[in-house]
Amino acid sequence: MQKPEIPLSEERRLQILQQTQLLDTDPEARFDRITRLVQQCFNVKIVLISLVDRERQFLKSRQGLDVCETHRDISFCGHAILADDVFEVYDAQQDARFDDNPLVTTSPFIRFYAGAPLTLANERIGTLCLIDEVPRRLSKRERQSLKQFAELIEQEINDRLQEHAHEQLAARELMYRSVLEGTRIGTWQWNVQTGETTFNERWAEMAGYTLAELAPISISTWFDLAHPGDVEQSNRLLEQHFRGESAFYDCKCRIRHRTGDWIWVHDRGRVISWTDDGKPLMMYGTHADITAQKQAELEIKASRDQFQALVSNIPGITYRCMVDKNWTMLFMSGNIDPVSGYPASDFINNKVRTYASVIHPEDRAWLEKAVDQAVAEQQSWQLQYRVIHKNGEIHWVEERGKADYAEDGKVRFLDGFILDISEEKLAKHKLSALASQLPGAVYQYQQWPDGRVAFPYASNAMERVYGISLEQLKKDASMAFAKIHPEDLTGLVESIEQSRLTLAEWYHEYRVINEDKSIIWLSGSSQPEAMPDGSTLWHGYIQDITTIKQYYLQLEQVNRELKMAQQRLDSASKNAAIGFWQASLVTGELWWSPMIYQLFGFDEQDIKPSIALFKSIVHPDDRQLVEQSELMAQETGVHDVIHRIIRPDGTICWVHGVAKLLPLTENPEKLLVGSVQDVTERMILQQLKDEFIATVSHELRTPLTAIKGALSLLNAGARDQISDKMQKMLQIASSNTGRLSNLINDLLDIEKLTAGKVQLNIQPLHVATELQQALENLLLYAEQYKITLNIEQCDDRLCVLADAMRLQQVLTNLISNAVKFSYPEGTVAINAEHLGDKVQISITDNGIGIDPEFTHRVFERFAQADGSNNRQTGGTGLGLAICKELIEQMQGTISFDSVLAEGSTFRFVLPYCQKPDFISVVQEDPDE
């Protein structure tokens, strides 16, 4: 099992993940709705929103799985967050990274996985993943849809963060308002010309005194308490105000408290009357104790900076505006710029333009009406409308807001949040387009306690399913129930009710009657959700399964027939003692039928088939023979070998294995499918037959040679002394003895070959020379049958390693067979070509061909397609068997293909060698 790697930016990724405040939180409907829809759209068993923590993955939303977290080391999502694109595993059991993963080997038995990363602040914090128990590949469109669903989840995470930030902002504003309302202010009035001064009691309290304790009161009372270091600044600001350089006197300074401590006060005032000669006369002002504010000033500044940073980082616009037709902005965050193309400063107090001016003209009237209604009802609002960007582009935004009311119920201002949802709108449009391409209908079905039913949302395919418009279905779904087949209606209603009560997934198959009285089968599945108003909302998918149902009925019939065929095959296998098997030359997997357990002497309960087990029971002397046949099967497509096996009890038996390699274009695992049969008795009989033939051949050869010699002498010297009838009988006797002599020679050859007694003189042979010699030797024979011999292709540089006499014997046998079985006036073509480290020689005729039922016996001894005694072609039936033995002992192979009534091609391959210097071809000069 391969553990997922750790991203390079792991610490920052984990920090971003913590900031989402999603870990170890309860399920939320906003995420569960999406995963249920994903589950329906992709028709998978499990859909998860996985957040990859430091040592675990936390499942924020899960469909089809009970656990809420797993270890990161065994997670698939840990791999998925390493790349930007969809991470897909077609079959986990065949993937070396996951084949021993406990999530694969045990519940939930993952076979297919596809995960789209969830990205926040450029860090992949988790995935939206699909999981199923069967292998699967996503199409290009499905991969795109999965990424779009992941983007929708990312938007929900951002929305959730923005909502939390807005709540914090509202709480902070309430705190500031409470601080301001709770502040108590000291007041003063001062005759600048006389110095006469009046303070209120609060002014004295700030310094820890009563007014009576400070009497008599004058401007000196203030200067006596003022901090010496602040007097100069106070005087300077006063002079500026007196000269008209500032509208107010505004100074923050210190005064001495009764305890001896210094407190900070905010001193503000204004000259309200002047003397006739333009000098300041009466001045009024306030003193506010700002000691606590001064102490908290840095903290407040830091808090404000943090607030501004938070607002600027929220992917939306926060605002406070007046209640007027222009929505005059008192505050607006900077994120208005990408939405409108204008800076926030343009909208504050309508400095350059109003916010209403960028709202799409078609949306202004209804938007204003909706906000006014919400304000009148003291309700919040959530509205979607269009904003016109500076460059002319249209942006869709969603505004969520609420009015702030004074104690008398009047509206003071509007607070809200505006989010650019253009991408979400585009995603919904794509989702709608995707739903329209599905073979079925995506829908939401809602049922209220009072019995009302409706489809709040349904894709266009729903009209095709029920023949009812979407507008009608949105208002009333009862019309759809009127289309249900009467026999299925009760069961359908009961299944929906059961799903409502248990909130379990609903699945049902039922029939619908069309307007033309035709019947279609539908399959529906959905996930219920309890709503706050007491209703139940199902998110689901419906598709037409009429064709599938018809196929299913046909499949049931085929399965019954297949079961009967399997029973007949098992019976035939048992009666004939033939077992069947299948092996992969790529994976090494092996399967065999129960009969093979009996043939090999194994207990079916204790032994699991494998190629290693099979090779262990092959007789050591036959292992190379079996391996060569397997290698040849990859070239010829046929595996055919007779060999010995050693059973667990020590007995040795002969088996005949025959198999065919399926076409490689449809067979990437190189599957061999074949049979095996116990041929021990046949091999014993063959051995007895071989011994008998050897004995008979040797015993007959000596007397037959004498008889043949005597007949030759009689035919040569006594022709004039015997009658014609006697001469004819002598000729027949001579011909039969010749045929019998050939048979005995072939029998002796096959005996020597079988016993391994043939001594071969392997040497480099020039192929062109050998073919020409064979052709010349058979020209007269071919003329008797009116057949043309032709060497069509042979590179003069080709050489093989072989025995010269035995190669001529093979060529003579194959060419004479081709001549013998060709139609008159036909042609026998001889070709040689270089194939890697081999040379292939082929002999092709256009004769009668070989019956398909006989092809498996072509190279057997005494095998002849025409078994009658009056065969027109003659022959012993040993020629091809001898050819096969000779070619194989020269480290080659022989094969053929044939079409009945069209001809045959026999071909054999021998080891290739470089042309030695001593081999040369003498070409005759045509002019000599």
Sign (positive or negative) of CA dihedral 848, 850, 853, 854: positive
Residue with tokens 């095996």: 676
φ, ψ (nearest 5 deg) of residue 186:
-95, 145
Q: Give the model's pLDDT for residue 894.
A: 94
Please choose, from the candidates 392, 374, 391, 372, the residue with its C-alpha nearest in 3D space to the C-alpha of residue 382.
Answer: 374
DSSP run (H or E) holding 769: helix 767-777
What is the number of H-type helices and E-type strands within the chain?
A: 27, 33
Q: Give the model's pLDDT for residue 926.
A: 38
How many C-beta atoms surround the C-beta of residue 692 within 10 A?
A: 10
Report which residue type is found at 862: F
E strands of 629-704, at which residues?
A: 638-646, 652-661, 671-678
Q: Are 454 and 473 within 8 A, CB to CB? A: yes
Q: Give the model's pLDDT for residue 868.
A: 40
For the chain, what's the residue count? Answer: 928
Q: Burial level of 563, CB count in 10 A (0-12/13-18/19+)?
A: exposed
Return d(Cα 860, Cα 726) in angstroms, integer.
Answer: 39
Q: Give the model's pLDDT for residue 817.
A: 92
Q: Are 206 and 287 within 8 A, CB to CB? A: yes
- The pair of structure tokens assigned to 36 is 């249920």
How far, CA to CA in Å, does 412 sit from each of 172, 330, 349, 375, 403?
Answer: 18, 12, 15, 11, 8
Q: Give the model's pLDDT for residue 337.
A: 85
DSSP 3-state assignment of 927?
A: coil
Residue with tokens 């989702």: 431
Please choose, from the candidates 838, 827, 836, 834, the residue with its C-alpha nearest in 3D space to the C-alpha of residue 894.
Answer: 838
Please choose, from the candidates 699, 905, 894, the residue with its C-alpha nearest in 3D space to the C-alpha of residue 802.
Answer: 894
Q: Give the model's pLDDT for residue 870.
A: 36
Do the strands 185-191 and 838-845 form a parallel or antiparallel pair, or are they unpaired? Answer: unpaired
Task: Indicate the pTM of the whole model.
Answer: 0.31
Residue 525, strand partner residues: 507, 541
Q: Give the model's pLDDT for residue 104.
A: 93
φ, ψ (nearest 5 deg) of residue 609:
-60, 140
φ, ψ (nearest 5 deg) of residue 891:
65, 35
Q: What are the CB-based long-range contacts (under 8 Å, 24+) for 615-618? A: 617/645, 617/646, 617/647, 618/643, 618/644, 618/645, 618/646
Q: pLDDT under 50 in the chain at which residues?
A: 176-177, 179-181, 867-872, 920-928
E strands of 485-589, at which residues?
A: 506-513, 519-530, 536-544, 578-584
DSSP letter string over 128-180?
Answer: EEEEESS-----HHHHHHHHHHHHHHHHHHHHHHHHHHHHHHHHHHHHHHHHH
Return d(Cα 161, Cα 658) in angstroms, integer.
Answer: 69
Per-residue HEC secondary structure of 214-275 comes to: HCCCCHHHHHHHECHHHHHHHHHHHHHHHCCCCCCEEEEEEEECCCCCEEEEEEEEEECCEC
Q: Give the model's pLDDT for residue 859.
A: 85
